[in-house]
Amino acid sequence: MLIVIAILALPISASAQTGVAWPDPTNMPPPQHSSYLEPILDFPTDQPPPQIQSVAYENYLGQPSSPSDLTLLNPNGPNTWVEPAYDDPIYERPVPLEVENDEPYHWTLLPKGMVYKSYLAGAQESRLSAKIIKITQDNIMFDGNMGGRFGVLRYGRDSSFLSDGIQWDVEGSAHVRLDIPEDVDVRSVDFRAGTQLTWSWASDPRHRSRFGYYHLSAHLGDEFLLKNPTYNRLNYAHDLLIYGHSFYFTKKFRVYGEVGWAFYNLVADPWEFQFGAEWAPNERTTMWGEPFLAVGCHLRQEVNFGGSFIVQTGWAWVGDIPGRTLRVGFHYHNGDSTQNSFYNIWEQQIGFGIWYDF
């Protein structure tokens, strides 16, 4: 009992000695609230909860967030998106094809780049190429393509990827087949010549299109006719209008489709279709190059919309001019002959090729 009385007397004694009384809990000053932060009460209360505002901030990845349990120090300030930067080379975030600079479009005579690339697995495209192939139930053949597609005039601008704008191209090529065991005789040759208007879509350069015309005619070799005098020569020819469209998911991967209609045709029927997909470099590579893969189908009305299926894969190099591509690798074809003098004869080709597009 004496101990309890002594404890209760301590505050009174301290007050008498110091002149400072203990605070009266019934007479406390009002709480001082921060002008920036609202208190968060985590115990039961009859008061309404304070208004919590969201905040945009940078986390350790540099990405903005909007948690609901933080208050905004400056409610009226701007909240800006901070683009994250990744230092890890293993993670490659897919980036859409955006305009690399704001250089205005201008006229260029004989431009060095291409707006619309030729289809890598397109058997009838104009390019330089050479293939050694073995045809099932036939001889070993040399298939050569001597030609190319060239820009004449462009209203646009250069790019490290493909040129932007609208461009007028001309093309021409001879697709020749030599029969190696038969004294390297010329078995047949197809001639192609035409012109194209190609363009990229300003709103989204991943979309690219072409519209054009080309003439193709098929001819048998003199040596082949001398050795096969009874062979029925076909005067295969057509003049087509074509429209093609490509979409680039990335700078290396595109899909495409094309339709062609012949307003003049002999042996051939009016309609043809192409579609396919490619994975290949389009920007400058190192001297070691990069792998490529191309798959394409070419369907023609004269063979009941059958045609050819082509797969090519190997290694590719791109130089200072975007789109100019050198390739070496494996070639496979299954379907109707790629030489139109034998358009309705089935062929399976397996071999090795070298291709150069410019």
Residue 23 to residue 46: CA distance in whole angstroms:
26
Predicted pLDDT of residue 34 = 47
Residue 295 to residue 120: CA distance in whole angstroms:
8
pLDDT in tens, 111-131: 988 999 999 999 999 999 999
Question: Could you say which architecture CATH assigns to the domain 106-357?
Answer: Beta Barrel (2.40)
Residue 358 to residue 356: CA distance in whole angstroms:
7
pLDDT in tens, 85-108: 555 544 444 445 554 557 899 999
pLDDT at 69 over 60: no
Predicted pLDDT of residue 60 = 43
pLDDT at 5 over 60: no
Predicted pLDDT of residue 206 = 95
How confident is the prediction for the chain on average, in pLDDT? 83
What percent of the chain has pLDDT above 70?
A: 72
Predicted pLDDT of residue 29 = 57
Contact (Cβ atoms closer than 8 angstroms) between residue 181 and residue 139:
yes
Q: How confident is the model at residue 249 (pLDDT cuts 50, 70, 90)?
A: very high
Residue 34 to residue 232: CA distance in whole angstroms:
98
Top pLDDT among 205 and 3 is at: 205
pLDDT in tens, 267-319: 999 999 999 999 999 999 999 999 999 999 999 999 999 999 999 999 999 99
pLDDT at 77 over 80: no
Q: How confident is the model at residue 68 (pLDDT cuts 50, 70, 90)?
A: very low
- Domain ranges within the chain, ordered by starting residue: 106-357
pLDDT in tens, 214-238: 999 999 999 999 999 999 889 999 9
Q: Of 209, 290, 283, nearest to 242 (Cα)? A: 209
- Rounded (10°) CA dihedral 280, 251, 159, 212: 70
Q: Which long-range contacts (CB under 8 A, 24 or more apart) does 33-42 make?
A: 36/71, 36/73, 37/71, 37/73, 38/71, 40/69
Residue 332 to residue 121: CA distance in whole angstroms:
10
Residue 101 to residue 159: CA distance in whole angstroms:
9
Q: How confident is the model at residue 342 (pLDDT cuts 50, 70, 90)?
A: very high
pLDDT at 67 over 70: no
290: three-class secondary structure by DSSP: strand
Residue 87 to residue 96: CA distance in whole angstroms:
19
Q: How confident is the model at residue 202 (pLDDT cuts 50, 70, 90)?
A: confident
Residue 20 to residue 12: CA distance in whole angstroms:
10
- Rounded (10°) CA dihedral 4, 10, 12, 15: -170
* 300: its two tokens: 């023609």
Read off the amino acid at residue 222: D
Q: What is the pTM of this model?
A: 0.72
Predicted pLDDT of residue 58 = 46
pLDDT in tens, 250-262: 999 999 999 999 9
